[in-house]
Structure 1
Amino acid sequence: MSAPRCVLITGTSSGIGLATAIAAARSGWRTVATLRDTARADGLRKAAADVGIELDIRQLDVTDETSVAAAVDGVIADYGRLDAVVNNAGAGHLGTLENDSVADVRQVMEVNFFGVLNVSRAALPHLRATCGRLVTVTSVGGVIGQPFNEAYCAAKFAVEGYMESLAPVALTLGVSVSVVEPGAVASEFVNNVGFDLETGITADPYSDALRRYIDRTVEQFMDGSAQSPAEAAEAVMEALSADRPAFRIQTSDWARAFIGTKLADADGSAVQGVTAAWVD
């Protein structure tokens, strides 16, 4: 019998990463679930135990090339193959140009863009060997720029541009490249943007617009319109399992409609009409 297919997933402590790790293992993948801080793996272990599956939980910091290399090399040493990678690790950020430092923006890029490149670069030789899959969780914010998310959207735009450019090149050697684009997902991600809702709104020229944006965003997460992580993970599993997965996969009808607005918006007026209403 051939060995089970092996997938490495980053950012599995919560949210889409955790849900994808569970879904992949339940679908028969040998699943290497990685996270920067393994002390935060209790929720992942409990979720696996609840459904009676095994996960191989390992440390991987996507911003540390040594950590990335050790994780990928360890998978090859232990299992002899790597059939898929899911780049899920990321961090949100709320801010705007005058209030963010350049160092703030660099850090957002380090995690959300260069972290993806670190993992993908280390994995590609092994994915070539198995004609595997490279899947990256981006965001609708990788297609549509959103108020007070300049740095985060810039990083996600960069990921989408890089992967869209890489996809035809990788395919010449048998590697399928896809991006998965969630909208609002009810997970810990929204709590990890590094912004204190109680003290973060200060008296500056942007404070009124920021409060309107936050009120609108909180309402979106409170009114039940946000997806569950498990629902979003279904789109990741589509990228892993489809015979010929699409390059761009949205996780919901709302995400498809929202992104469709941008892709049909040659002069940008339709998108600006939508996003301006969030702050005005």
Structure 2
Amino acid sequence: MTDTVLVTGSSTGIGLATAVAAAKAGWRVVATMRDTAKSSALLKAAADAGVADLVDVRRLDVTDAEAAAACVADVVRDHGRLDAVINNAGAGSVGTLEYKPVDEIRQAMEVNFFGVLNVSKPALPHLRESAGRLITVTSVGGVVGQPFNEAYCAAKFAVEGYLESLAPLAAAHGVRVTVVEPGAVASEFVANIGFDPADIDAVGPYVPQLRGYLARVTGEFQNAQTSEGAAAAIIEVLTAEQPAFRVQTSEAARSFVSAKLTDLDGSAVQSLTSGWVA
């Protein structure tokens, strides 16, 4: 029986590329997205790669815990097993505390943190049965806090902390847990962060700092990794015999997070990120 992987957030970007790459690697892929009307790009890419028969598109809003549990149950019912989950669905959130409604911060946590838990919780019993993989796409923002990405980084920090805590317990029952940390990736993610540069005055006295931050982001994404490059790193985790807990998708991502992972007093990160908003 073909191994089955559930991939969330598959309509664009890393999720789409990962779904196709997993199918090319021989996996049965259940590719989920909030709006299946947006599945045409994925289906075309799968057809072009000759793996359309291995891609099963389903609707899932990861913020709906009941829907996530039902989706997992349906996958196991229809395909007989669940061997891996790739939590990829996520959403950006740009702003700063004084000028961002708390409800918007809470929504960032719902998508980026609780969405991961909503899918992973019902999947774990099946992953125990298959000695499977629980893979979650976080971000370099799950390691290094970044100005104007407060809510997004908080959610990604939470994901990494939760899964780092869960990993040894899951491993004791045969489930390998990995967080995958991309840096800048050329995808539609930036276009969907919910911030219009025309609204820059909405951050009050922080406008000069936001201009500096946006200039840096623009530069970073001009040299961004491709979605396919990030997906290749995820597939390595999916197929590795002993995958690491923490994996970066590029040399740039490795260099960036290394500043934090060796920064015992926080001064290196503060020096780095302060320069973005000077």
Shared fold (TM-score, shorter chain, > 0.5): yes
Displacement of 1:219: 1.8
- Superposed counterparts of 1:155-234, under 5 Å: 155-202=155-202, 204-222=204-222, 225-234=223-232
**2:261 corresponds to:** 263
**Preserved contact between residue 200 and residue 207 of structure 2 (Cα < 8 Å):** no
**Preserved contact between residue 132 and residue 174 of structure 1 (Cα < 8 Å):** yes
- Superposed counterparts of 1:1-280, under 5 Å: 3-54=1-52, 55-202=55-202, 204-222=204-222, 225-280=223-278
Give the stretch that moved more between structures: 197-206 or 32-41. Answer: 197-206
Displacement of 1:135: 0.1
Partner amino acid, structure 2, of 1:122: P
Displacement of 1:203: 6.5
Partner amino acid, structure 1, of 2:33: L
User: In 2, Cα distance between the equivalents of 1:127 and 1:176?
Assistant: 9
Partner amino acid, structure 2, of 1:242: A
Deviations 1:175-231 (A, max 9, x none): 000000000000000110000112344371101100110011112212xx2100000
Gaps spanning 5+ residues in structure 1: where? none
User: In 1, Cα distance between the equivalents of 2:256 and 2:157?
Assistant: 15
- What SS is found at the alignment partner of 1:183? coil
Deviations 1:110-168 (A, max 9, x none): 00000000000010000000000000000000000001000000000000000000000
User: In 1, Cα distance between the equivalents of 2:125 and 2:168?
Assistant: 16
User: In 1, Cα distance between the equivalents of 2:166 and 2:147?
Assistant: 28
Identity of aligned residues (%): 62
**Cα-Cα RMSD:** 0.9
Q: How many residues align?
A: 276
Displacement of 1:234: 1.1
- What SS is found at the alignment partner of 2:260? helix
User: In 2, Cα distance between the equivalents of 1:158 and 1:124?
Assistant: 19
Partner amino acid, structure 1, of 2:260: K
- What SS is found at the alignment partner of 1:7? strand
TM, length-normalised to structure 1: 0.97
Partner amino acid, structure 2, of 1:67: A
User: In 1, Cα distance between the equivalents of 2:195 and 2:178?
Assistant: 30
TM, length-normalised to structure 2: 0.98
**Preserved contact between residue 201 and residue 211 of structure 1 (Cα < 8 Å):** no
Partner amino acid, structure 1, of 2:19: A
- What SS is found at the alignment partner of 1:167? helix
**Preserved contact between residue 200 and residue 210 of structure 2 (Cα < 8 Å):** no
